Amino acid sequence: MSSSGILLLDKPQGWTSHDAVARTRRLAGTRKVGHAGTLDPMATGLLVLGVESSTRLLTYVVGLDKEYLATIRLGAASTTDDAEGELIGEVPAAGATAIDPAAIAAGIESLSGDIEQVPSSVSAIKVDGKRAYALVRAGEEVQLKSRAVTVSEFELLGSTAVDGYLDLEVRVVCSSGTYIRALARDLGDDLGVGGHLTALRRTRIGPFSVTDAGELDSVDVATALIPPADAAARLFERLELSEQQAIDLGHGKRIEVDAAQRGSTPTSALRSAIAPDGRLVGLVELRGADGGVGKSVVNFPSDAVAGA
């Protein structure tokens, strides 16, 4: 059986997230591999994969905030809101380069914070049971509903004039479910010149950074895996168990948690329950008026050992 753990990959351009999972399955020698959030083939950057029982942790990674570096091209919209689509509504030559920098700053500001965003029509959102992108490719018109998202940081890093277009290099930190392509589209619309995405790189998901990720064509899965206990401890405060507590939790029993074990986070938050040998026993929720009772929400089998 393959070891369990979290694998960080730096996805190259042209690969789908499914391609990356399929390759990892072959390298790890197991079918039990999943990912926490896709990247378009055009995009590069961080994919967080789970191997064996650590796929159970992916549920808690998917909804974390994300950071991206992107290039937004002003001067033309696109049928897909990115460089893979057909350009539409191009402005006259040099029109985009004449935009007042103050107007760009105001446009970015208006797309920051808690906003309502209409996802790109070529997204993976399902409409009547079918993916929106599949409907678009079949020639159907798709109207998606707006959704609440949070863009906590939208930073302009620089700009370059390219053949009459204006390329904006930006950094975005946002909630799960935010479409960077839609930010490019909406910024271009707000400025009256059209906009689309020409490059996208995901640099972070929650506590996981692309700087720690391996290359897809050279990664050694066995040595690159983050052990389950270490991965869970990045996501949740640690709950150090006694030997008996570890046994009881493994058998589905509730445990008594004294004040010294409870830590500083709210009692409603999950803890990563770690056995004395470093094994991740499970994710535990503290209950009771004082948080003195621990109940396992997710148990991990014996493949989830430290350094397995």
- Taking only the tens place, the pLDDT of each residue in 134-182 is 555 555 666 778 999 999 999 999 999 998 899 999 999 999 999 999 9
Per-residue pLDDT, 303: 54
Asked if the domains 5-64+206-224 and 66-198 are classified in one and the same CATH topology, the answer is yes
Residues 214-231 have pLDDT tens digits of 998 888 998 999 999 999
CATH topology of domain 228-299: 2.30.130
- Confidence (pLDDT) at 271: 92
**Per-residue pLDDT at 2:** 62
pLDDT score recorded for residue 200: 97
Rounded to an integer, the average pLDDT of 237-243 is 93
- For the chain, domain boundaries: 5-64+206-224, 66-198, 228-299
Q: What is the mean pLDDT of residues 188-209?
A: 96
What pLDDT is attached to residue 137? 59
Is residue 273 predicted with pLDDT exceeding 70? yes
Query: Which residue of the set 40, 167, 248, 303 is catalytic?
Result: 40
**pLDDT in the model for residue 79:** 85
Return the structure tokens found at 82: 């990115």
Quick one: 66-198 is in which CATH superfamily? Pseudouridine synthase (3.30.2350.10)
User: pTM, whole model, 2 decimals?
Assistant: 0.90
Mean pLDDT, residues 181-192 taken together: 95
The pLDDT, as a whole number, for residue 308 is 39
Closest CA to 21 of 9, 42, 123: 9
In the residue annotation, 258 being an active-site residue is answered as: no
Is residue 122 over pLDDT 70? no
Averaged pLDDT for residues 188-204: 96
Interstrand relation of 66-74 and 208-209 (parallel, antiparallel or unpaired): unpaired
Residue 127 has pLDDT above 70, yes or no: no
Statement: residue 63 has pLDDT above 60: yes
- Contact at 8 Å (CB) between 62 and 11? no
Average pLDDT, the chain: 88
Average pLDDT value for residue range 60-66:
95
Report the DSSP pairing between strands 195-205 and 44-51: parallel
Q: Say yes or no to pLDDT of 305 above 80.
A: no
Has residue 6 got a pLDDT over 60?
Answer: yes
Q: Assess whether pLDDT exceeds 70 at residue 103.
A: yes
Identify the residue with better confidence: 2 or 213: 213
CA 218 – CA 141 distance, rounded (Å): 42
What pLDDT score does 141 carry?
63
CATH for the stretch 5-64+206-224: 3.30.2350.10
